[in-house]
Amino acid sequence: MTDDERKARIDSLLHGVKLMRDLKDSDTELDAKLTLYIGDALDAIGIFINNVDVPKQLDGVIRKMAAAKFVQEAAEGTTATSEEGLSFTFSDDDMKPFATLLNKYMDNQSGANRLGSVVTWD
């Protein structure tokens, strides 16, 4: 993926993250921070699946990871916090909440999850 393609992809993902967080596209105050979280999520998933070119099929995971990081902002290293009756519990591993889905993706790519396949030896 070229730098321009990566920027275009991150911009598209930014729109989705802002939509998830009820932010308008015209609200640009948090764009730099959200863009950083999206880029970090894109890189982390690329490392996890061992593919620098993360498929668009995983964009939902990227958006969710970036939004989760945004919620956890200023609480890095904290496993739980509570404020005015609202409590949050954070994983100490950013990938843990998404590992099952990413492992399922990798199994599907490798063919390890094929059910009902027929194998013949001719």
Is the pLDDT reported for residue 43 higher than 90?
A: yes
- Output 102 or 92, whichever has higher pLDDT: 102
Domain extents in the chain: 3-108
What's the average model confidence in pLDDT over 76-81? 61
Distance, in Å, from the CA atom of 68 to the CA atom of 95, rounded to the nearest integer, reads 11
pLDDT at 109 over 70: yes
Question: What pairing do the DSSP bridges indicate for beta strands 80-83 and 86-89?
Answer: antiparallel
pTM summary value:
0.76
**69 Cβ contact list (under 8 Å, min separation 6):** 37, 40, 41, 94
Among 9-13, 24-28, 73-77, 81-85, name the one with the lowest average pLDDT. Answer: 73-77
